[in-house]
Amino acid sequence: MIKMKTALIELKAASDSSLEEGQFTGYASVFGNKDSYGDIVLQGAFADSLAEYGDKGSGIPCYWAHRMDDPYMNIGQTVEAYEDDRGLFVKVQLDLETANGKQTHKLIKEGRVTQMSFAYDVIEGAWVDRKPEEGGWYYELRKLKIHEVSVVPVGANQETELTGVKDAITAFKAGRTLSAKNEDRLAQAKSLLEEVLAEVIEVDGTDVSDEEPKGGKPQEPETAKGEDHVEVKARNDDPEAALALIALASAGVHF
């Protein structure tokens, strides 16, 4: 399953004298920080995959917002891509002979888009434990196959929805009074969620007890990241993740 990650990295375009017309630079990934999915990308994760492309990591396709289903959204390619201490650095040449390439270049120069992302498969990864005060469990991405890099808009829908859910939970925890109607609706949602989780547990045998997993670590999915982290948290009786899962499902967001 191809997955995507976004890095909140400022892009650089024409104002940089080292760049030719239509080029920009940025970081498609950063190392060592735990993202919203609970993942940490390790330095060296891209080394093997970059070697499969051209000289100095050239030739990785660049798309607008991962629109790999549309050939007109293939807006350029890397002329350089390499790992440094910070992350996966890329220099991209946009195709200025196309309307989409020219428009993307304009948006970057004007600072109207400021994010990059990349599509990848996990080749090697594992759950890692650390002390709760250090952030707790995380999924370590050790080797990745990169398929493309993308320029993506600020405030992607998935992030906006998650922020909204988080704000609602915060307000609820702060003691905001619920109407009788909303209390009833919340009770119905809780009941439905419990039914769904019970069916999931019955089907796949997932254990959501409070017991520590055998060996002190959670069981790794059959594939490197075979199921979404939000679902895993929800099955482990995390009410915030469960609420987020409901919100995302109702919004039609899939990962």
Q: Residue 153: which of 189, 198, 115 has the closest Cα?
A: 115
pLDDT at 180: 61
pLDDT at 114: 85
pLDDT at 216: 41
pLDDT at 189: 67
pLDDT at 37: 78
The helix (run of H) or strand (run of E) holding residue 101 is helix 99-109
Indicate the SS3 state at residue 233. helix
Indicate the SS3 state at residue 223. coil
Please state, in angstroms and rounded to a whole number, the distance separating the CA atoms of residues 188 and 195. Answer: 11
What's the pTM value of the predicted model, to 2 decimals?
0.59
Spans of the chain, pLDDT less than 70: 1, 6-17, 134, 154-191, 193-255
Q: Residue 115: which of 150, 83, 80, 89 has the closest Cα?
A: 150
Which 8-state DSSP code applies to residue 72? Answer: G
pLDDT at 129: 86
Residues in the chain: 255
Please state, in angstroms and rounded to a whole number, the distance separating the CA atoms of residues 129 and 166. Answer: 25
Q: What is the DSSP string of 147-212?
A: EEEEEE-SS-HHHHHHHHHHHHHHHHHTTPPPPHHHHHHHHHHHHHHHHHHHHHHHHH----SSSP
Q: Residue 53: which of 86, 85, 77, 19 has the closest Cα?
A: 77
pLDDT per residue over 172-225, tens digit each?
Answer: 545 555 556 556 666 666 667 666 666 655 555 544 444 444 444 433 333 333
| Integer CA distances (angstroms), 55 to 40, 50, 58, 79, 116, in order | 27, 9, 6, 9, 22
Q: In 10 A of CB 233, how many CB atoms?
A: 18
